[in-house]
């Protein structure tokens, strides 16, 4: 858990289907309300992955209007401390990449790398039925966390990616899942490239006393 990080550059080394199945089987032990297990996963590799990547990157590069987010991921109105943390991450990443403030072309190019799964050989598209409520979204979040940890335990790296939720329509067309499902996120899985500059990105975490309160313990 302490060693896991979001990887933004992968080597082309393949990941066997059996390994992905094992990761998902372990992650499926995640708890869910009344054991309803509301997560669904569409696994992409090889030609299927290439087809999806081509469709998404072409749409992004063309500046075509995006489909609306299927759900509200970020706050409608940003405020401290969340805006501060977001900006710090963004400028830390852009600093490593040598992208200056206002360099929209390179910013867009880096954003577009999301839709290549950062070159990972396996991409997951996690969906949920549209009629599920907030509790089930919590369950899916727990499941996603389990996927990340299971992959880490098998010597693989990952990157959970909310950006895919902006392209629910294209993903549905390319993958073929029904309109009753909507994208929650994508997950890149593979062998991270330790030599890529983004491997040096460090993301700080708040200390426990910054987000937790304790009552009833003896001093």
Whole-number pLDDT of residue 101: 87
Local confidence band at 24 (pLDDT 50, 70, 90 cut-offs): very high
Length, in residues, of the chain = 219
- Rounded Cα distance between 219 and 212, Å, is 16
- pLDDT digit string (tens) for 29-59? 999 999 999 999 999 999 999 999 999 999 9
Region 17-67+114-203: CATH code: 3.40.109.10
What is the model's pLDDT at position 95? 92
pLDDT in tens, 131-187: 999 999 999 999 999 999 999 999 999 999 999 998 999 999 999 999 999 999 999
Question: Cα(70)–Cα(166) distance, rounded to whole angstroms?
Answer: 7
Predicted structure pTM score: 0.95
Tell me what pLDDT residue 4 has: 93
Query: In angstroms, rounded to a whole number, what is the distance separating the alpha carbons of residues 70 and 183?
Result: 7
Question: Sign of the C-alpha dihedral, residues 74, 79, 82, 87?
Answer: positive
Residue 130 near residue 180, CB atoms below 8 Å: yes
Strand arrangement, sheet containing 181-190: 40-44, 122-129, 181-190, 157-161
Helix (H, G, I), strand (E, B) or coil at 183: strand
Domain ranges of the chain: 17-67+114-203
pLDDT band at 70 (very low <50, low <70, confident <90, very high): confident
């Amino acid at each position: 858990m302490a060693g896991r990080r979001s990887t933004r550059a992968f080597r082309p080394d393949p990941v066997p289907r059996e390994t992905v199945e094992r990761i998902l089987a372990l992650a499926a032990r995640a708890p869910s309300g009344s054991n309803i297990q509301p997560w669904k996963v569409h696994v992409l590799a090889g030609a299927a992955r290439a087809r999806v990547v081509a469709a998404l990157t072409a749409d992004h590069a063309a500046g075509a209007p995006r489909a609306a987010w299927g759900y509200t991921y970020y706050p409608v109105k940003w405020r401290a401390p969340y805006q501060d943390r977001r900006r710090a991450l963004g400028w830390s990443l852009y600093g490593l990449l040598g992208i200056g403030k206002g360099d929209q072309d390179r910013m867009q190019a880096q954003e577009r790398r999301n839709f290549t799964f950062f070159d990972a050989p396996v991409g997951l598209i996690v969906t949920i039925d549209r009629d599920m409520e907030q509790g089930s979204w919590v369950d899916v979040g727990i499941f996603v966390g389990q996927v990340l940890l299971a992959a880490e335990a098998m010597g693989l790296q990952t990157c959970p990616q909310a950006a895919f939720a902006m392209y629910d329509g294209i993903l549905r067309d390319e993958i073929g899942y029904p309109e009753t499902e909507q994208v929650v996120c994508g997950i890149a899985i593979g062998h991270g490239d330790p030599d890529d500059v983004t491997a040096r990105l460090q993301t700080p975490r708040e200390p426990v006393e910054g987000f937790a309160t304790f009552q009833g313990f003896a001093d």
